[in-house]
Structure 1
């Protein structure tokens, strides 16, 4: 196992016959059997690999008054052994029920809370899971319909790095959360019930890093190939951090580049107007622009490796055109067929 499970529990929030939300509390933690281990391993892996996550902290809303401190206070009592895990989870369930009651769109769901350790850090995983209907075959080969937790379509989930929260009082990124397909607003009620305020914006930080790298190589005496090697090195370094769930350490990245003969990047990145933090979460989709050019618009989609610019792909900004030498074989086949048909 990649994680060591401490305790986990599930409560159900559902509408009663009057249309009111109730929280049905489980009285004891889930048994740490094979089913629980498999579920949490899957959730941990799925959550870690999701891109575009937001990051925040227990704090104060800007102009909206103070965030609700009830969740963080209960969590602090649990971590201080003043409150048991079941008691803490029940408090969390009631807080979520109250928050959901403010909205008309909610049908509830299954609130999962899990305390576990991974890579020497303690985490609390919080998710509101939905059930989906599926078919299964019984021992007598009859079909029956069953409801199961929809783990692959997780949309409302957050993970609190308890170690970072308690050791770094200045951190603004110890809570990560899924933004949802429709953006940040979808998860507002979920974050509000925890009193979470958005802090670090990974996309902004990664965009600034990418700009710093481009400016750094542009002002260097490196050859075209060496410049692309520098971009690739940055992308590979940051991708490894993303895949492992670790932050980008700006000093470590600079040391990695220095080992490849590209000195002074740290001084360059911190001495400019890039406003980079010393460490921040990786956003692979943003940094992929170091390796690839891509764009879509007006019914045209273009994507190519950065190393081809100026060789197989020629860009003329004056005429606003791209010249592609060596059309990919599958695309060439489609074009040839269309020309023959016409």
Structure 2
């Protein structure tokens, strides 16, 4: 086990035939059984490696400049020993029910809260899980339908780094959250019930890092191969940090490059007009642009490794054309077939 589960509980939020929501509270924590530990280990791993997460903090926002402070106040009381875990989780369940009642699209779900330790940090994981039906074959070969929690497709989840929050309350990224497929607006209620606002624009920070790296290799006396090696070194470092849920640290990254003979990246990044934090979360989809070029538009999708630019792939910005030498075999086969057909 990579995590140590301290407390976990599940509450149910359901909708009746009239569309009214109610919260059924569990009166005691879940037992620290093998099933509970296995579930939370799976959720932790899935969440840690989830790409495109947002980051925020307890704070103020909106036209009135205020968020709902009740969740933060309850969490503070729990951490100070003034509330038990069950009482805190029950207050959280009621807050989520109240927030959900403002919208028409929700049918409820199962609210999971868990405090656990990973490495040297304490975390609070908060998630609204859905249930799925499945079919099971019994010993007598009869079919029966049962319901299980959907752990593979979690779309509403947040994790609070309790250690960072209590050590540095001015941090803007101690809360992370999953950005739902349907867009930020649908997930707003989940952040609102916790009083969370977005603090660090992860994509913007990662794009700024890529700009700094490109400017760095362009201004250096590196060969073409060395420049590509630098980009790959940055990509490898950043993705490794993403995989373990750690922040990208500019000083640490600069030391990694220095070990490969590429000095002074830290001074370059800090001395330029780059709006880079010293530490920020990585964003894999953005970082992939260090190694690949890709784009879609007008019915055309194109993607290729950055190392091919100037060799197999020639780009002419004046004529707005790209020439590819060595067409991939499967694409060439499709093109040849179409040409033979008279196209």
TM-score norm. by structure 2 comes to 0.98
Residue of structure 1 equivalent to 2:142: 142
Residue of structure 2 equivalent to 1:16: 16
Secondary structure in 2 matching 1:111: strand
Quick one: distance in 1 between partners of 2:72 and 2:340?
Answer: 68
Confirm or deny that 1:161 pairs with 2:161.
yes
1:76-115, aligned counterparts within 5 Å?
76-115=76-115
Of stretches 57-66 and 259-268 in structure 1, the one that deviates more from structure 2 is 57-66
Residue of structure 1 equivalent to 2:45: 45
- TM-superposed CA distance for 1:140, in Å, is 2.2
Moved over 3 A (4+): none
Quick one: distance in 2 between partners of 1:221 and 1:24?
Answer: 65
- TM-superposed CA distance for 1:139, in Å, is 2.6
Quick one: distance in 2 between partners of 1:113 and 1:40?
Answer: 10
Unmatched tracts of structure 1, length 5 or more:
none
Confirm or deny that 1:270 pairs with 2:255.
no
Residue of structure 2 equivalent to 1:173: 173
Secondary structure in 2 matching 1:212: helix
1:122-137, aligned counterparts within 5 Å?
122-137=122-137
Number of aligned residue pairs: give it.
342
Residue of structure 1 equivalent to 2:121: 121
- TM-superposed CA distance for 1:101, in Å, is 1.0
Conservation of the 8 A alpha-carbon contact between 1:123 and 1:161: yes
Note the alpha carbon deviations across 1:47-66, whole angstroms, 9 max, x for none: 11111110000011153321
Secondary structure in 2 matching 1:199: strand
Note the alpha carbon deviations across 1:292-318, whole angstroms, 9 max, x for none: 111111111111111110011000111
- TM-superposed CA distance for 1:143, in Å, is 0.5
Quick one: distance in 2 between partners of 1:73 and 1:298?
Answer: 51
Unmatched tracts of structure 2, length 5 or more:
none
Secondary structure in 1 matching 2:274: coil
Secondary structure in 2 matching 1:75: helix
Secondary structure in 2 matching 1:10: strand
Residue of structure 2 equivalent to 1:199: 199
Residue of structure 2 equivalent to 1:337: 337
Conservation of the 8 A alpha-carbon contact between 1:179 and 1:186: no
Quick one: distance in 1 between partners of 2:65 and 2:217?
Answer: 45
- TM-superposed CA distance for 1:212, in Å, is 0.3
RMSD (Å) for aligned C-alpha atoms: 1.0
Quick one: distance in 2 between partners of 1:102 and 1:64?
Answer: 18
Secondary structure in 2 matching 1:8: strand
Quick one: distance in 2 between partners of 1:199 and 1:182?
Answer: 21
Quick one: distance in 2 between partners of 1:32 and 1:338?
Answer: 61
TM-score norm. by structure 1 comes to 0.98
Confirm or deny that 1:64 pairs with 2:64.
yes
Quick one: distance in 2 between partners of 1:329 and 1:106?
Answer: 48
Note the alpha carbon deviations across 1:250-302, whole angstroms, 9 max, x for none: 10001111111111111111111111000000001101111011111111111
- TM-superposed CA distance for 1:17, in Å, is 4.3
Of stretches 31-40 and 88-97 in structure 1, the one that deviates more from structure 2 is 31-40
Secondary structure in 1 matching 2:125: strand
